Amino acid sequence: MINILFDVAEVSVGQHWYWQIGGYSVHGQVLITSWIVLGVIGIICLLGTQKLQPVSGGSAPAAPEGLQNLTEYVTEFIRDLAKTQIGEEEYLKWVPFLGTIFLFIFVSNWSGALLPWRILELPNGELAAPTNDINTTVALALLTSIAYFYAGLSKKGLGYFKRYISPAVFLLPINILEDFTKPLSLSFRLFGNILADELVVGVLITLVPLVIPIPIMLLGLFTSAIQALVFATLAGAYIGESVEDHH
């Protein structure tokens, strides 16, 4: 099983800049771009929550504007998504998790679609969106799996495992297999779409450097946002499935 995981971790395209950490080789360029993405998210959150203004109405002060509006919109969007997928009773505690997943994937995907990473030279390999690497998407998918297992066990205890023999015992192998296929589908869907988009744009820019790549890049921005939404929505749906009461 460990060997299979290492084989999956080596699914990559092109050259990579490797760092040796504790006897293991890690993709250094993925860590660099991940830190940049996290830094961008952190800065926007800090700036958007400074000098908060209350919502306008009556004799209230000035209405919120700028980054505060953006952060409030994103928060409301994630709250609505969590409420829809998880339900009224449990959704609030999962808003931070789903919000973090969504924002990291969204900003990562857009960084690959917007930023000319290749102009920054590395000793070996090249910079790209963190979600361009299978290790990142698998890590996000495994976090999602841990989250929905935790959600089910924290609410139902060991009774959570009754779902594997519901509605019939003979469904046990299928239900177990489903829990293995969920992280696989989450990780490979995100990895494949982002990698394909960057490869297509890269080839078109090489062949036709003017005009033609622009619509493809705009389409890439749209599909990148959709991929972040799909991942967060499925993560919420899996958590909601774990905590729902079966009668």
Please state the rounded mean pLDDT for residues 123-133: 79
Residue 141 has pLDDT above 90, yes or no: yes
pLDDT of residue 84: 92
Q: pLDDT at position 37, please? A: 92
Comparison of pLDDT for 189 and 198, the residue scoring more: 189
> Strand, helix or coil at 208?
coil
Query: Does residue 100 carry a pLDDT above 60?
Result: yes
Q: What would the mean pLDDT of 141-158 be, rounded to a whole number?
A: 89
Q: What would the mean pLDDT of 61-79 be, rounded to a whole number?
A: 78
Residue 181 located in a structural domain: yes
Q: How sure is the predictor about 2, in pLDDT bands with cuts at 50, 70 and 90?
A: very low
Domain count, the chain: 1
Distance CA 245, CA 247 (A): 6
Tokens, residue 32: 């660099």
Q: Kindly report the number of other CB atoms within 10 A of residue 36's CB atom.
A: 17
Residue 27, phi then psi, degrees to nearest 5: -75, 100
Does residue 200 belong to any structural domain of this protein? yes
Mean pLDDT to the nearest integer, 161-175: 79
Nearest to 236 by CA among 82, 126, 34: 82
- Asked, for residue 18, whether it belongs to a domain, the answer is no
Q: What is the mean pLDDT of the chain?
A: 80
Contact call for residues 148 and 239 (beta carbons, < 8 A): yes
- Looking at 11-20, 142-151, 168-177, 213-222, which range is the least confident one? 11-20
Percent of the chain scoring above 70 in pLDDT? 78
Under the banding of pLDDT at 50, 70 and 90, the label for residue 180 is confident
Question: Would you state the pLDDT for residue 11?
Answer: 52
On the question of pLDDT at 59 being above 70, the answer is: no
Cα–Cα nearest to 98, from 246, 245, 239, 241: 239
pLDDT computed for residue 5 by the predictor: 46
Secondary structure percentages of the chain, helix, strand, coil, to 5? 75, 5, 25
Percent of the chain with pLDDT over 90: 24
pLDDT of amino acid 54: 65
Q: What whole-number distance in Å separates Cα of residue 109 and Cα of residue 222?
A: 10
How far is it, in rounded angstroms, from Cα 82 to Cα 98? Answer: 7
Pair of tokens at residue 237: 């749906």
Give the range of the structural domain holding residue 140, as residue numbers without chain letter.
Answer: 28-51+66-243
pLDDT class of 1 with cuts at 50, 70, 90 = very low
Residue 60 belongs to a domain: no
Q: Tell me the mean pLDDT in the region 196-200.
A: 75
Q: Which residue has the higher pLDDT, 178 or 10?
A: 178
User: How, if at all, do strands 24-27 and 18-21 pair?
Assistant: antiparallel
Is the peptide bond prior to 215 cis by the omega test (within 30 degrees of 0)? no
CA distance 89 to 176: 27
Q: Is residue 89 part of a domain?
A: yes
- 10: in domain: no
Number of alpha carbons in the 13 Å side-chain half-sphere of residue 240:
19
Is 124 within the bounds of a domain? yes
Evaluate whether 235 touches 101 at the Cβ level (below 8 Å): yes
Residue 154 token pair? 């924290």
Q: Which residue has the higher pLDDT, 221 or 201?
A: 221
Q: What is the mean pLDDT of residues 98-112?
A: 91
